[in-house]
Structure 1
Amino acid sequence: MRETNKVFHLAIPCKDLDETVDFYEKLGCKLARRYDDRVTFDFFGDQVVCHLSPDNIDEKPKMYPRHFGITFLDKEEYEEALEYAQKEELPFFHKPMVRFEGRQEEHMTFFLIDPANNLLEFKYYHDSSMAY
């Protein structure tokens, strides 16, 4: 289980700092720092750093195996995030769906794609014991 005195850190490539800031702020993330070569965000309580690296963009991203995101433990928060993404017209890589229907690990999920083709998954497990 997560301890509150720790922050997960993820570094990913971006192709343009301005469009990256625009996307993540529309997602609700707080810009923490900005430098000439990277931006750092409070990503739902964790740290995501987008490094300017236009030559390292995945031109044909796939959902698996490479993505990151949030697993909500509260269904209402998941639904609010989905509604917010739709309201802000954020780009969906995959529309909302249910995975593993009828199994213990059944969950609701959707994927967004950021301006550098990084994939973000947002999900909610009906059985919270499956979150880890």
Structure 2
Amino acid sequence: MELLINIDVDDLARGIAFYEQGLGLKLQRRLFDGTVAEMLGGNTPIYLLAKPAGTRPTSRSDTRRDYGRHWTPVHLDFVVANLEAAIERALEAGAEIEDWPQDFDWGRQATLSDPFGHGLCFVEWRGEGYGAVAG
């Protein structure tokens, strides 16, 4: 199975800039008449989809896209080598910090949101990572 990650943004140029400057991804190509940006640099490609605020996400949906901070049970975790440096880079690019680094048996984690209201975490492994809590 192949995994693709799609992230709606209301401003594609700003999305590209954030994911390049804040997370170190690189624009690989633009697709669908320039409405989609393929971002590479992790194990899975991330596609930024230009979707205006206020539009319906599906034909059956009663809700509308809103790029203010929103909660969803799905978010992205980015494994980083240096948590503080990753946070600083993301904040400079427009992220907002939600929880400063916390320590766990498996490593450290900070939670942030991107400029489009999507939650994300930075994870810095310690030792075996999640292997330290397997069982």
CA distance in 2, matches of 1:114, 1:121: 10
Question: CA, structure 1 residues 40+57, in 2 after alignment: closer, same or farther (shift >3 Å)?
Answer: farther
Structure 1 counterpart of 2:68: 59
Higher relative contact order (CA 8 A, sep 6+): 1
CA distance in 2, matches of 1:68, 1:8: 13
Match of 2:17 among 22, 43, 46: 22
Check whether the contact 2:86–2:122 (CA below 8 A) recurs between aligned residues.
Answer: no
CA distance in 1, matches of 2:2, 2:111: 23
After superposition, the C-alpha distances for 1:13-40 in whole angstroms (9 at most, x for unaligned) are 1101110111011021110112421111
Q: CA deviation at 1:58?
A: 4.7
Alignment identity in percent? 18
Question: Would you say how many aligned residue pairs link Structure 1 and Structure 2?
Answer: 116
Question: CA, structure 1 residues 10+41, in 2 after alignment: closer, same or farther (shift >3 Å)?
Answer: same
Question: CA, structure 1 residues 121+87, in 2 after alignment: closer, same or farther (shift >3 Å)?
Answer: closer
User: TM-score, structure 2 length as denominator?
Assistant: 0.68
Check whether the contact 2:16–2:37 (CA below 8 A) recurs between aligned residues.
Answer: yes
* Corresponding position: 1:94 with 2:95: no
Check whether the contact 2:10–2:67 (CA below 8 A) recurs between aligned residues.
Answer: no
Q: Which has the larger radius of gyration?
A: 2
CA distance in 2, matches of 1:48, 1:8: 10
Structure 2 counterpart of 1:115: 115
CA distance in 2, matches of 1:121, 1:112: 6
After superposition, the C-alpha distances for 1:63-103 in whole angstroms (9 at most, x for unaligned) are x622112235xxxx133xx314414613223243215x4xx
Check whether the contact 1:78–1:124 (CA below 8 A) recurs between aligned residues.
Answer: yes
Any gaps of 5 or more consecutive residues in structure 1? 1-5
Amino acid at match of 2:101: M
Q: CA deviation at 1:108?
A: 1.1
Question: CA, structure 1 residues 121+9, in 2 after alignment: closer, same or farther (shift >3 Å)?
Answer: same
